[in-house]
Each structure stands twice: as C-alpha cells, then as structure tokens.
Chain A
C-alpha cells in the first residue's frame, strides 16, 4: 500500500517536475520576449471602396476598382469593396458603417452623390478619412481627389481638331455638372487650339448609362448636326460604337477600345492605379489632413490618351505629344480671356481659373459649344 503510494508519488514527480520546469521556462521566455504593450504590430492599412455599379462592369466601376486594387497590392494595403450601393438612399451610410466596423481607416466614395450623403454623418467617424471624388462636399475628414481628366479632354480636343474636316464635333454627355462641363470646355479649347473654328454640339442623355439613347443621340449628332467626329461623357461607349458603325471617327472615354475599330481614334483614359497610388501614399504619410483637394493629371502620367488608332499619323502623334509636354509643364488650359456660349466673360486675359472653381463652380459652356436641338 505504502509502496504503491510511493511509486505513484514518484511517478507523478517524474512527469510533473519536467512539465512544471518546461512550463516555467516557457513563462520565463514569454515574459522576456513578450512584445511591449507600446509596440503594437504595424497593422495592415485597410481601404474601403464604395461604388455604384458592379466592380466587374467595364467602364468607371471596373477601371477604378482595378486601379485601386493594384495600388493596394503595391503598397501592402487591404481592400474591402462594397459595390451595388445605390445613390440617394441610406445604403451608402450603411456601407460606410460596415466598412468602418471592419477597420477601414480610408474610405473611397467613388460616386458623385455619396459625399453629400455622408457629409452630415462624417463626424461620427473621426478616425476615418473619406475620399471624395469630384464633389463639392467638404468636411475636415474628407479630402477631394480627382484626376485632371480635363487635360485629357484638351488633348482629345486637339486630336479632334486635327481629324475633323467639318470642324463640327458631336458630344454625347450625361448631365451638365461641373465635371462634364469642364470636360466639354477643355475639349473645345483643345479643338480650337488646332482649328480655331471648331465647334462642339452637345447632346444630353440625362443618364450615366443609357446605351440606346446614347446611340440614338450619336446618330442624330452625325446626321442632324453634321458632326464628323463623336465623343462622349458616359459610363459606356455606345456612342463610339454607333459612330464606328457609321464609319465616323470617335474618341472614347475611359474605355478599352475594341480591336479593329479603327474609327475610334483614341480613348481619354485615367491610369487609376497611378491615381490611387498617389492617393494611398498621401494617406499613409498622413498628409490628407492638410490636403483639401488634390488633382492628379498629365504631369503624373495619370491622365492620357490611350488606344491610339492606326488612323493617327506620326505627325499627329508628334503634335499631340508636344501639347502633352506643355501640359506636363503646367500649361494653364483655362486662362483668359474665356467667354461662355452666352458671351459672358468668365476669365480675363491675365487670369486663370483656379482649381477650386474648376472643381465646383463650372456651370457654363464655353463659347463655341451648342446643344443639340
């Protein structure tokens, strides 16, 4: 009996002792090499992205998403996406709450109306930086980032000026907001740089995406207004396709040009990856706090003409490149004197329109632009 107890005790001692020893050793090591509480692991920044359509649908949605994804991958950030978020509902706010709950410190509101919807609630998220794309809304934790697409429009306008023989260019546009209007204005300025008599006829669709109407308007612009070159500001490229079908030149916007469509001369494109890289860098460097608006343009090679058609001769290319270099060297597109199509002087001869105005306060079409009746 006694011997049994002794044997058991010895056995326990035999196993317990090294186990206790090992445990003590582990505790000791853990104590020594425990990461200090004031030395948190650098956590991976998480970026939220809210977008109107499907991130796989070509055009605005997919190109933004793919650019952002590439930037995140390059800079080691995590991307969380909320797509199919309808405007003018509470869905965007819900998406913001959800993303903030997931630890997103940077949320990109990639549709025009979102910032307006979020701004009243923005102070609820003091640790979140919102990126506002081309909107008038402002809050201390909201910064506006936008590509200087108008520089691309200016370049494409120059291309149109070169190619168009009639000097009448058809422009299918969604709605007359600052973005669309400054695009049209820059386009006309570009066209007039080559052909001072060039005109632009605008046809409004009142929708970002209505291929049928776009097609129809493009055809009307060609047949009724006499346009021999079509460009557009829509989320899809129906207008360019319609022109192509009619054998009329066109310039696409933010879209991959199908091969063999030689009448689609080029596409005004944004390198969203470059755009978002700059944006993410600013965020990571904590510079958003002093940035109210930030434009990224030709100088960063973020805005450019792509998919140049074989119809464009090397001479044309050289001409376009010269203009591009001027833009890189801070050539001012909107410098006076500028009159709108109501003949009101918008910018005097020794002035230039400021970025802030370009962003928010363009509500006029420049002289030389007419609307399709």
Chain B
C-alpha cells in the first residue's frame, strides 16, 4: 500500500469508526430500553405477587372474621331470644363504637340485636342460599354475614357491620414494606378502607386520571389474574400500582409502592449490568474491527501476491509464445534456405546466383536472430543447459576466426588473432556455447567498428589444481564504444544503445544478454571496458577442465582457410534405397532436391502410415522420418516399423525441429540411429547418410576439378578482392561462378571463347590500325564481358580500361582530352592483345585437360 492510498484510507477508517460508534450507541440505547422494559415487567410481576400475598393476608383476616361469626351463629340458633344470645351479640359488637351486630330473618327483617339495613347490601341475599358473604356499601360500611342454619335449611343471617370510619382501625392490612400503601376498594373502584395516615395527597393521587386509568387496566387484568401490577410515572415519580381481588367478597386490595422501594437494589444491579454489557460490547466491537482490518490486510497482500503470480505467468507465457513463434519461424526459413540452396546449385545465371546468395545471407541473419530469441527465451524459462564435451581449443579458435575474418576483412578491418602458446589445447567444456559467446562478441566488435582493428586474444591463468585452467578471451575493437550511462544496462535483454547512430546496425539486442547468461552459466565472468568513441574491450574468463596437458603451441593462420563457397556432393550412392517421410510438401521437395546429386534412390511419402506401407514391401538402407507429422509421428512410426521384418537393422534418422535440450538423447533412446535438427544442414544430412548407409553402397563423389590442374595458370591462394592488375590470367573460381558451377557449361563457353580468338584478335588489330575508335570501343567492351564470363579477369580488366578510354575519347570535346584518351588507348592496346592471347592459351590448356 502506498502513501496516497493510505491517506485515502484514513477518512474511510474514521467514517467506519464513527459508524461503529453510532451503531454501538444505538444498540446501547436499544439495549437499555429493552432492559428497562424487562426490568419493569419483572418488577411488576414481583409487585403483583406481593399484592397476592397482601390479599392472602387480608383474606385471612376476613376468613377469621367470618369463622368467628359462623361459630357465633352455631351458638345462636338453639335458643333464640334469651339472655345468652344478647350477651353473645354484645361480645361480637365489642367495646368500640361503629360496630353493629344483629340477626336478619329470611324475609330481611332485623329480628335480633342492632337493626341492619339488609336491602342496602346487594350481596346479602346470596347469604340466604347458605353462603358466608362480605359486602360493602358506601355510606354504610363493610358487612360480614353468615347464615343461621336450622338443620339443612337457612333461617336467617348473623351480620356484623363495621361503619366506614371504623374500617381502618379494625383491619390493619399488613404491608410487606413500610413504603407500601394499601387500600381496600370495592370492585367498582369505590374506596372502602384506606391505610392509616391517608392524606389529601393520597386522595389526589388516586383521583388523578393516570391512576384511574391504571386502575382500570388493573381491573381488566384481574378478570383472569389473581393479581396485577402496573408501572406508573406520575409527577416525575415512579410507582407501581397493584391490585388483587378478594374471593367471596366484592372487594379488591389495591395499593401502590414507590419505584425505589421495589427496585432500589435492582437498579444498581441493572445499571451495573448495563455497564458490563456495554464494556463487553465495546471489546467485542474493537476485536471485531481489529480482525476486519487484519483480514483486509491479508486479503490485500494475497491480492498482490496473486497479481505477481499472474504477471509472472504472463511473462512466462510471453516467453513461451516467443519461443514457439521463433520455433515456428525456423521451419519456413528452413524451406526458404533449402530452396534457395537449390537455386544456388541449379541456376546457371550469374545474376540469379547473386540474388540467391543475398537471400542466403539475409536468411542466415534472420535465422541467427531467431536463434538469439530462442536462446534468450530458453535461458529465461530455464530450459537452457550447458553440455560439456572434450574439445581442442585450436579447432575452436580456427572455426571462430575463419568465420569472423571474412566479415572483418569485407568491412576493411584488420583482424588479428593472438593465441598464447602456453594455453592448454585439450579442454573439457561446452564448445558450442563458448563459440557462441566468442562469435557474439566478435560480431558485435565488427558490427560497431567502422575502421581500425578487431583483436582477438586467447590466454589463460593457470590454476594451482592441475586439471583446471581459467581461459581468457579478449576482444578489443576500435569501434564507437559504449556510452557511460548505457554501460550499466549492457547485459540486459532487448537493449540497444545509441539508437540514432546505430540505427543501421541490425540485430535483436539480445546478443550481449545471451552472452552474459551463457558465461554465467559456464561459471565464468565477463567484463568490459569502453571509452565512447574510442573502442571497447570485452574480457571473458571461463574455467575449463584440462583433459591433456599439451599446450596449444604457435597458432597458425594457415589453417584458417576460407571454405569454398561452392557446393559439392560429398558422396554418391546410386544403389542405396532411402525412404523419407515428411508431411510438409516443401520439405519433401527440398529433401528430394538435396539428395538428387547423391543419386540415392529416394522414395518420399507424406506420412507415417505410407512409410509403413512402403517398409512392408521393401527393404530400405535408411529411413528419414519427420518427427511431427499428421497421424503417426516419427517415434510412433519407428515403433510400428521396428516390428516389420523389412526394417530389421535399418537405420532410422529423425528429422525434427525439436531442438530442445536432451532431444537428441531422447530420440536415440527411442531407437533412432541419428538425429537431425531442422532446419536441415545439408552437410549434416549427407554425413548422417554416409554413416548410416551400408559402406559398400557409398562411394566418394568425383572431384569436379583436380587441384593439380590449377597452378599452371593461376595462384589459387590469391585473395578474391585483388585488383585487376594482380588478377590471375585465368580465375577458375570466377569462371565457375559465372557458369553456376557447371563445368560442362564452362567448357562449352570456354571452347567458343577460344575458337573466336583468332578472328577477334585480328579484328581488334584491324580496327586499331584503321583508327575506327568507335568500333574499337565496342569490340573491347565485348571482350570485357565475354572474357569475364569464362574467368579471364585480367584480360577483362584490361579490356575494360580500353573501353573506358575509348568512351572518353568519343565523348571528349577538347582536342587535349581527345589526345590524352587516344594515347591511353594506344598504350593499352598492346597489353589487351597480350593478355587476350595469354588467357586463351590458358583456357585451351584448361579445357583440354578435362
């Protein structure tokens, strides 16, 4: 996460925290409300059960009152109207005023004791059915009545009436705590019995609409409940109202208790538990927030890792794509180069030959670029391996030098090879890769050097342990050098510097990166020293094992001979039968054309199945199988073919573009006798066939020109770039080149040329004598081109000089210029005739030898 992101995250976090706090607060409020409601309802239950208890106690008082009366009633009946009855009634009445006791007949008349208002009390008649009754009537008081029984029949009621004034003094309802205020109400809400110390304030309290409303609520609850309680807030004070009906009586115990008296200790518990809950919630949310943040971070780093993985995969995919593309490109180039080779061989036309060579050069450089890319991507993907073998350093140096010298010289550069004689010759290492390194460095040196020298020095630093040495290669040029700022990036891939100046220099920019990687893979080191504009020195040090202590000795340039450009078939095998299978038509054509000169009897098929059919009916001396074919591939074809009797002992050669590390070993393990990688190297193909074919069917190809015939006329080692004066009288190479290597054609041309000599030379002489300069110029022009086509380089050059002089004479305006050209023409005439004669003589000798 970078700074700006972090800054952006900050307000987000603040918003989140605020949201969290808001949620927390809302939750806390909700929780408190819920808890308060819960608490109120639980307190209501408590108060209601207290009310039940109070009611029970009151009920008990009533029952006691009634049982006393019942007892008295039992005593009354046997002897009505005597002294004992009066005494009993007096006892019941007691000493206090406001209590009346009397007996009422079944008709409702007072027949004994105090006169009681029977009809006033609505429930009293119920007692006539034989039940004890408690009834209240406002203005009269509370009456207790029990039936007077005569046998099973009711004969009257014994009643005790407490006047309203007396009620509180007689019934001391026991409050459960000192704050509890109790009253007896009748069921219509009329107050019967206030608690003592009932004041105006209490009257106001009970008359307030809120309390009345609450009482109504309690009444409706009492319909189905023993007792009920209700929370009430009045004038900022909190109360619990409660009520419980008394059975048997039309009375209700009602009361109220302040909040504090019930909830006092519970409030503390409540607030404490709220605090604890809030704390827990806070901890919970903090931990939650922390975990969320952690998770976010983890997710982010995971996402980064995933992205990196994806990027790596993409890069890998690109490398692989590049590798496969390069690989795919090699196949058509192979075809192009193969067919171009055919053109080079077959074309008699000098111009076409030149074009074809250009195609070859361009194709080769394209191939090398492709190879660079392939190498680089292989190095990138780790598929590149070092394969070590025993080799001779001298051969390596010669190969490299012979490849680089012509290029250096073609650019007009001096190329020096300097080898320390003490360097051990027999070494063990990856000669192919060392060669690649050296060629890369030397190619660069030549490429970036316009004039001056390219030096290639080989030395070594002996090591204490005898079997190892540190080879040192120094490549020094006097080229453009490398800018200081570019030096650090030198060994990175796809980098080319100084683009403006080097825009004409071709290449992928991968060479040095590959070189650097190769050297490192061989445990070596590479360094360079460059001064911009003055030149660059690359130093490569490679540790190599010594297999034999022999030193390389004096390096001889003589061995470093340029190879002949001309293609020559190295063997003939007219009796050999060879089968080739390849599904690519161009490849088949190239293969057929390449092997045509060997006179091998070649059968070509387009797939593995056809190859098997041929093998079924015929024995072949060798089979060439393309690995990648439609249907059966090379390996499958080989496996199937190895079971056929005809193919017993037949060598199979695989042709494959699969040039991976270990591919050769893999194919040999599969049972192939040899392995040829595409694009096909014609020499490799021939060599492989020579090895594979039965020796009795192979004979060396006839040499087109025996070396011995040459010295008579020419110096064979003369460089091709020599000037006309130094040119040989007869240049066989040039002659063959212009005949496209066709000796018959050359002979034919040479015979014609020689046959015309007498006539032509006489004509030249006549024209010179008659001073017909116009015709003379035409004649030397003709001589110039015809002699060149049969290898008469010197005579051609001389003729050309005369032609030029003749043209100058003809076109000259001033007499001085004409005179000068004429003198030149005259001076040159003799040498033209002489060289003409010499050349024809050499030519005759040449042609007569064949």
Interface residues of A (CB under 8 A from B): 7, 10, 13-14, 17-18, 21, 24-25, 28, 32-33, 36, 39, 75-76, 280-281, 284-287, 290-291, 295, 329-330, 332, 335-336, 347-348, 350-357, 361
CA A285 – CA B48 in complex, angstroms?
A: 13
Cβ A25 vs Cβ B284 within 8 A: yes
CA A284 – CA B226 in complex, angstroms?
A: 7
User: Is B644 interfacial (CB-CB < 8 Å)?
Assistant: no
Cβ B34 vs Cβ A28 within 8 A: no
Contacts of B505 in A (CB 8 A): none
Contacts of B147 in A (CB 8 A): 354
Contacts of A347 in B (CB 8 A): 153
How does the 8 Å CB contact mask read for B116-144 relative to A, with 1 for contact and 0 for none? 00000000011011110000000000000
CA A176 – CA B783 in complex, angstroms?
A: 170
Cβ B153 vs Cβ A329 within 8 A: no
Contacts of A25 in B (CB 8 A): 284, 288
In the complex, chain B residues 206-249 whose Cβ is within 8 Å of any chain A Cβ: 222-226, 245, 247-248
User: Is B298 interfacial (CB-CB < 8 Å)?
Assistant: yes
Q: What distance in Å separates the Cβ of B399 from its nearest Cβ neighbour in chain A?
A: 47
User: Is B152 interfacial (CB-CB < 8 Å)?
Assistant: yes
Q: What distance in Å separates the Cβ of B126 from its nearest Cβ neighbour in chain A?
A: 6
Contacts of B277 in A (CB 8 A): 32
> Assuming the A-B contacts A17-B294, A39-B42, A290-B248, are A352 and B106 also in contact, with contact meaning beta carbons closer than 8 angstroms in the complex?
yes
Cβ A285 vs Cβ B129 within 8 A: no
CA A332 – CA B551 in complex, angstroms?
A: 154
How does the 8 Å CB contact mask read for B294-338 relative to A, with 1 for contact and 0 for none? 110011001000000000000000000000000000000000000
Q: What distance in Å separates the Cβ of B313 from its nearest Cβ neighbour in chain A?
A: 15
User: What would be 13 A-B contacts, judged by CB atoms less than 8 Å apart?
Assistant: A13-B294, A17-B294, A21-B288, A32-B280, A39-B45, A285-B247, A287-B247, A348-B153, A348-B155, A351-B153, A355-B129, A357-B153, A361-B152
Cβ B295 vs Cβ A17 within 8 A: yes
Q: What distance in Å separates the Cβ of B51 from its nearest Cβ neighbour in chain A?
A: 13
CA A288 – CA B59 in complex, angstroms?
A: 14
How does the 8 Å CB contact mask read for B43-77 relative to A, with 1 for contact and 0 for none? 00100000000000001000000000000000000
CA A351 – CA B128 in complex, angstroms?
A: 9
Which listed residue, B105, B129, B287, B302, touches A350 by the CB 8 Å rule? B105
Which listed residue, A17, A335, A361, touches B106 by the CB 8 Å rule? A335
User: Is B379 interfacial (CB-CB < 8 Å)?
Assistant: no
Which listed residue, B152, B223, B292, touches A357 by the CB 8 Å rule? B152
Which listed residue, A28, A36, A39, A330, touches B125 by the CB 8 Å rule? A330
CA A330 – CA B124 in complex, angstroms?
A: 9
Contacts of A281 in B (CB 8 A): 223-224
Q: What distance in Å separates the Cβ of A182 from its nearest Cβ neighbour in chain B?
A: 13
Cβ B34 vs Cβ A33 within 8 A: yes
Which chain A residue shows the least CB distance to B273? A32
CA A33 – CA B273 in complex, angstroms?
A: 12
In the complex, chain B residues 392-434 whose Cβ is within 8 Å of any chain A Cβ: none
Contacts of A284 in B (CB 8 A): 224-226
CA A13 – CA B291 in complex, angstroms?
A: 9
Which listed residue, B107, B125, B224, B245, touches A75 by the CB 8 Å rule? B224
User: Is B149 interfacial (CB-CB < 8 Å)?
Assistant: yes
How does the 8 Å CB contact mask read for B17-48 relative to A, with 1 for contact and 0 for none? 00000000000000100100000001001000
Contacts of A353 in B (CB 8 A): 152-154
CA A39 – CA B277 in complex, angstroms?
A: 20
> Assuming the A-B contacts A10-B298, A28-B281, are A285 and B130 also in contact, with contact meaning beta carbons closer than 8 angstroms in the complex?
no
Which chain A residue shows the least CB distance to B155? A351
Contacts of A13 in B (CB 8 A): 294-295, 298
CA A295 – CA B107 in complex, angstroms?
A: 22
Cβ A354 vs Cβ B280 within 8 A: no
In the complex, chain B residues 475-511 whose Cβ is within 8 Å of any chain A Cβ: none
> Assuming the A-B contacts A14-B295, A28-B280, are A354 and B225 also in contact, with contact meaning beta carbons closer than 8 angstroms in the complex?
no
Q: What distance in Å separates the Cβ of A21 from its nearest Cβ neighbour in chain B?
A: 5
Q: Which of B125, B149, B153, B299 has the most CB of A within 10 A?
A: B153
> Assuming the A-B contacts A7-B302, A295-B129, are A285 and B152 also in contact, with contact meaning beta carbons closer than 8 angstroms in the complex?
no
Which chain B residue shows the least CB distance to A148? B129
Q: Which of A10, A280, A351 has the most CB of B within 10 A?
A: A351
Contacts of B287 in A (CB 8 A): 21, 24
Cβ B106 vs Cβ A332 within 8 A: yes
CA A281 – CA B783 in complex, angstroms?
A: 148
Q: How large is the interface on B (under 10, 10 to 19, 20 to 34, 35 or more residues)?
A: 35 or more
Which listed residue, A18, A285, A286, A351, touches B154 by the CB 8 Å rule? A351
CA A357 – CA B225 in complex, angstroms?
A: 32
Contacts of A330 in B (CB 8 A): 125-126, 128-129
Cβ A14 vs Cβ B298 within 8 A: yes
Contacts of B59 in A (CB 8 A): 290
CA A76 – CA B224 in complex, angstroms?
A: 10
Cβ B131 vs Cβ A355 within 8 A: yes
Cβ B284 vs Cβ A352 within 8 A: no
Contacts of A10 in B (CB 8 A): 298, 302
Per CB-CB distance, the 8 closest pairs between chain A and chain B, nearest first, are A354-B130, A330-B125, A351-B153, A357-B152, A287-B247, A284-B224, A355-B129, A286-B226
Given contacts A10-B302, A354-B154, A355-B131, 4 further A-B contacts (CB under 8 A): A285-B222, A348-B150, A348-B155, A353-B153
Which chain A residue shows the least CB distance to B277? A32
Q: What distance in Å separates the Cβ of B31 from its nearest Cβ neighbour in chain A?
A: 7
Cβ B247 vs Cβ A354 within 8 A: no
Contacts of A76 in B (CB 8 A): 224
Cβ A332 vs Cβ B284 within 8 A: no
CA A285 – CA B51 in complex, angstroms?
A: 13
Q: What distance in Å separates the Cβ of B249 from its nearest Cβ neighbour in chain A?
A: 11
Which chain A residue shows the least CB distance to B289? A21
Contacts of A332 in B (CB 8 A): 106, 125, 128-129
Contacts of B294 in A (CB 8 A): 13, 17
Cβ A285 vs Cβ B295 within 8 A: no
CA A180 – CA B284 in complex, angstroms?
A: 75
Q: What distance in Å separates the Cβ of B749 from its nearest Cβ neighbour in chain A?
A: 76
Cβ A285 vs Cβ B245 within 8 A: yes
Cβ B247 vs Cβ A290 within 8 A: yes
CA A200 – CA B317 in complex, angstroms?
A: 118
Which chain A residue shows the least CB distance to B222? A285
Q: What distance in Å separates the Cβ of A25 from its nearest Cβ neighbour in chain B?
A: 6
Contacts of B155 in A (CB 8 A): 348, 350-351
Cβ B129 vs Cβ A352 within 8 A: yes
Which chain A residue shows the least CB distance to B156? A350
CA A355 – CA B131 in complex, angstroms?
A: 8
Cβ A352 vs Cβ B291 within 8 A: no
CA A212 – CA B309 in complex, angstroms?
A: 101
Cβ A351 vs Cβ B106 within 8 A: yes
Cβ A354 vs Cβ B149 within 8 A: yes
Cβ A18 vs Cβ B130 within 8 A: no
Cβ B152 vs Cβ A356 within 8 A: yes
Q: What distance in Å separates the Cβ of B542 from its nearest Cβ neighbour in chain A?
A: 36
Which chain A residue shows the least CB distance to B41? A39
Cβ A355 vs Cβ B295 within 8 A: no
Q: What distance in Å separates the Cβ of A255 from its nearest Cβ neighbour in chain B?
A: 28
Which chain A residue shows the least CB distance to B274? A32
CA A347 – CA B130 in complex, angstroms?
A: 14
Q: What distance in Å separates the Cβ of B312 from its nearest Cβ neighbour in chain A?
A: 13
CA A190 – CA B546 in complex, angstroms?
A: 148
Contacts of A32 in B (CB 8 A): 31, 277, 280
Cβ A336 vs Cβ B153 within 8 A: yes
CA A160 – CA B467 in complex, angstroms?
A: 148
Q: What distance in Å separates the Cβ of A46 from its nearest Cβ neighbour in chain B?
A: 15
CA A355 – CA B152 in complex, angstroms?
A: 9
In the complex, chain B residues 752-776 whose Cβ is within 8 Å of any chain A Cβ: none
Cβ B152 vs Cβ A28 within 8 A: no
Which chain A residue shows the least CB distance to B301? A10
CA A13 – CA B153 in complex, angstroms?
A: 88
CA A107 – CA B294 in complex, angstroms?
A: 64
CA A17 – CA B106 in complex, angstroms?
A: 85
Which chain A residue shows the least CB distance to B45? A39
Q: What distance in Å separates the Cβ of A335 from its nearest Cβ neighbour in chain B?
A: 6
Which chain B residue shows the least CB distance to A25? B284
